[in-house]
Structure 1
Amino acid sequence: MKSSPLIAAVIVAVSSASHAFDLQQPSNNNTDNLVWTGHLSPDTDTVMSAMLAAHIYGGTATVPEKINPESEFVLNFCNAESPRIESDYSQFQVGLVDFNQTTQLAPTIDQGSIVAVIDHHAIGGSPINTSQIVAMDIRGWGSAATILADNAEKLDVTLPKHLACVGLGAILSDTVVFQSATTTDYDKHYAEKLAGIAGISDLEDFGQQMLIAKSDLSHLSADTILTMDYKNFEYGGKKVGIGVAETLTAQQLIDRKEELLAAMKAYKQANNLDHLFFSITDTKDKKANLLWVDDSDLKVIKTAFEHTPATDILTLEGITSRKRQIGPAIQNAVESL
């Protein structure tokens, strides 16, 4: 596969004399007090990308909250230790992976301490705002882990077997085993390379095991399910929450619709949100089953998807990605109303 310029990328890297973090020459950096972290409600790409970044650039991998069952499965499968849960980032220099929004930032992170961002999401809503130069690598690929695998290769950094394995898990998770609309050829290319290092011959089987681990939510409360894969956004000055549960057994959650709606109503009020949405994303049949709280949310739904739901749940065929499909549609609707 030929190398090509960064897609939708911004890379700011200056000489070590300016004391800015350098993504091109890691040896220029002082990483004694550096930690890497992803967004709140950490998913598999966030967890594993922090681990990859710490190995490539130095520093320590962390997560801001407890990891989810899929991430636990991947770490166990790969014989890898989980990053530590960090409750106080105030004393560290911080590198961010897999996000760039202040609405998803751990509350103890001072934006003045951020030195780098490695991400694959749009810069919209409420991105970080710093007075200092921040090294940024943002590309429209399917996973932050794909970007990091590419950086490791270009920097001639060898990934050990367990990190290649977790990186593969991150790519398979965020691309839903290459079925998501966000999947690129880069994701497939580096998934194959990482699988070779990790000694994994059947990517599909590994991915399906991950989906199964993610799917069984029967033992979890509706409150936990709502926020397990959840992100806050700021669209048009409005506070918007979008939660997702990707599952092979969507009916299991649809049957708990009333519990989820009650949890959503309480969460929206407690967090002073203008809008709140939750998608039960059926990874088997490739569709989203969207829930909302009240009439103001319903108005957004009608505008976003040009459809008036006949019931209190809207099924969207072929919709599986919050990042590429659900989020942008809701953003456009909120900003137009």
Structure 2
Amino acid sequence: MGASCAKEVEPFDPDRGAGGARAENGGDEKGPTSIRMQEVKSELSKDVHLPGRRSSEIHDLFDNLCSASRAVGGGEKKRRSIFGGKSARRSFIAEGDVLYSSSKLTSKLTGPWSVVIPKGTIFIGHKIPDTDAICSAIAAAELFDGHPAKAGKLNTETEYVLKRFAVREPDLFTDVAKKRDDSSVCLVDHNQTSQVSDGVDLKKVIGVIDHHAFQSGTICTPFPIYTDIRPWGSACTILAHGFIQHRHPLSKSSAGLMLAGIISDTLSLCSPTTTEFDHLMVTFLSYAAGIKDVDELAKEMFKAKSKQLESMNAYSLVRGDIKKFVTEDAASKASLKLAIGVVECTNPVVVMNRKGELEEELRAFKLEEDVDIAYLIVVDIVALYSEVICPEHDEIDLACQAFQAKLSDNGTIKLEKGRVSRKLDFMPNLVKILEKGWHKKAVDDHMTKRAKRQSLAQVVYENGQVLGRGSIQDAGEQESTGGVVDESQILRLSSDEEDEHHL
């Protein structure tokens, strides 16, 4: 959509000269001029305001290339119409020197004229926000003159990044939306309904800027929206490129935030999701932010991320970075809910020492969230190794087939070096086995699930912070309110009970 549009004067006739007269036989014939374009005002122009952001360098480059191509061979080639003659159809020109010779045309088609995100839009990342989600929201707000928001509590890595670049933490989306009730919303770093922040009205979503695939549960909107989905390593990479496209002023703080977002999502350019564009944007952003040592920034970020793990309880570790997907059971054709949690750290031993309680919490998560299959994958972001924690036999069976691995002595599945990406390594391999006919063997009926769910130990909160699940001692104190039961008593099924739920 642009503020003006091109009006076609008449179909191009290759036998007609520049002045409109047909060339005579044998005369000195000069090639016809470029397609004649008359600029007219669009009826939609009142809704679009794009002052001075055209990419003039790009259309100048086209003009130079086209001029060079015309010079080759000692003269201009005769332009050819695909349809020829006096066809009433629109004429299509085959040669590039004609197609790109109009500077007005190339300016309109190569500039960021199609990006129409209204001023004042709220930019929000996914639930359980990571560094890329927060930093891309802040950068997008600067680029499009909007307002950043967060979907939940920040992790220690993101807190470190905001403190390092002296940027204020965004407010919760619900608080921002109350102040700006009529504002439109643009999602960044996600496109699935399950990841959308609480309080977001999909009717107000006018855009998505993301680097994830369209999988199960992609958002649905009542009207077309602006969508920028690219197979790059992070949403911050896309936003950084947006600043270049728009020739928009870039603050050092936003450059630093986008640099941190790329480092976090690509594991300092070591993840298999890393692309050439991520490398290019890291170079550009490090210069813009004045960061001389990118490796030092990455080390400090990863250290901040790992520091949090030592004090986190099992509840928070499992839910800290978990994403849910909906696929299909090949046998029953019923929907199958799959959840994959990831813990990235520099010292995986700290997490693996708590394997038992993490397995218990995964089983609790499955009951509370009504999930069929759940994993927690511990990623060593320095050595680039991953270890899969499986709560039950179904998870073990599926993962062994998906990753062509065996259960280790400590009861986990260790993946080969380099498999560290949920998007590229974990999810696709699991789905591939599901599509081949794998099905869940241990299935509880509705009443059994309900009974277990009601009997789960309650989650204890204090000042908004999760302290973990209630203990047996708590059960006696809170007996009058229904009690808090130790989850290990509920979740460990006897062998007899398991047999009843096998298909």
Aligned counterparts of 2:172 and 2:348: Cα–Cα separation in 1: 30
Contact 1:20 1:135 in 2 (8 A): no
- CA drift at 1:17: 6.5
Which deviates more, 287-296 or 245-254? 287-296
Q: Aligned pair 1:315/2:402, yes or no?
A: no
- CA drift at 1:267: 1.1
- CA drift at 1:82: 1.3
Contact 2:136 2:261 in 1 (8 A): yes
Aligned counterparts of 2:194 and 2:145: Cα–Cα separation in 1: 26
1:235 is aligned, of 327, 346, 351, to 327
Partner residue, 1:326 = 426
- CA drift at 1:306: 2.2
Between the two structures, name the one with larger relative contact order (CA 8 Å, sep ≥ 6).
1
Aligned counterparts of 1:108 and 1:334: Cα–Cα separation in 2: 33
Partner residue, 2:190 = 99
C-alpha distance 100-83 of structure 1, shift in aligned 2 (>3 A): same
SS at the partner of 1:96?
strand
Aligned counterparts of 1:160 and 1:220: Cα–Cα separation in 2: 34
Aligned counterparts of 2:355 and 2:43: Cα–Cα separation in 1: 54
Residue identity opposite 1:30 in structure 2: P
Contact 1:20 1:134 in 2 (8 A): no
Q: Aligned pair 1:162/2:253, yes or no?
A: yes
Q: Aligned pair 1:46/2:133, yes or no?
A: yes
- CA drift at 1:24: 3.5
- CA drift at 1:72: 0.4
Partner residue, 1:251 = 349
Gaps of 5+ in 2: 1-41, 51-110, 329-334, 439-503
C-alpha distance 249-20 of structure 1, shift in aligned 2 (>3 A): farther
Aligned counterparts of 2:45 and 2:432: Cα–Cα separation in 1: 42
**1:33-112 matched pairs, under 5 angstroms:** 34-87=121-174, 91=181, 92-112=183-203
Aligned counterparts of 1:27 and 1:289: Cα–Cα separation in 2: 42
Gaps of 5+ in 1: 1-13
Partner residue, 2:118 = 30
- CA drift at 1:122: 0.7
- CA drift at 1:26: 8.2
C-alpha distance 28-246 of structure 1, shift in aligned 2 (>3 A): closer
Residue identity opposite 2:321 in structure 1: D
Aligned counterparts of 2:48 and 2:223: Cα–Cα separation in 1: 8
**For the pair shown, which has the larger CA radius of gyration, 1 or 2?**
2
Partner residue, 1:265 = 363
Aligned counterparts of 1:62 and 1:79: Cα–Cα separation in 2: 17
Partner residue, 1:293 = 391
Contact 1:21 1:135 in 2 (8 A): no
C-alpha distance 134-18 of structure 1, shift in aligned 2 (>3 A): farther
Partner residue, 1:279 = 377
- CA drift at 1:30: 3.2
| 1:187-226 superposed Cα distances (whole Å, 9 cap, x missing partner) | 1111111111111100011011111111121011111111
SS at the partner of 2:339?
strand
- CA drift at 1:27: 8.5
Residue identity opposite 1:85 in structure 2: L
Calculate the TM-score normalised by the size of structure 1.
0.90
Q: Aligned pair 1:226/2:318, yes or no?
A: yes
Contact 1:36 1:95 in 2 (8 A): yes
Aligned counterparts of 1:21 and 1:240: Cα–Cα separation in 2: 44
SS at the partner of 1:87?
helix
Aligned counterparts of 1:29 and 1:184: Cα–Cα separation in 2: 27
C-alpha distance 222-21 of structure 1, shift in aligned 2 (>3 A): farther
SS at the partner of 1:106?
coil
Partner residue, 1:10 = none
- CA drift at 1:21: 12
Aligned counterparts of 2:369 and 2:116: Cα–Cα separation in 1: 42
| 1:121-164 superposed Cα distances (whole Å, 9 cap, x missing partner) | 11112111122111111111111100110011010111101100
SS at the partner of 2:268?
coil
Contact 2:118 2:144 in 1 (8 A): no
- CA drift at 1:335: 3.5
**1:7-26 matched pairs, under 5 angstroms:** 24-25=112-113
Contact 1:21 1:116 in 2 (8 A): no
**1:61-210 matched pairs, under 5 angstroms:** 61-87=148-174, 91=181, 92-210=183-301
Identity of matched residues, %: 30
Partner residue, 2:64 = none
Partner residue, 1:9 = none
Aligned counterparts of 1:282 and 1:170: Cα–Cα separation in 2: 18
Give RMSD over aligned pairs. 2.3
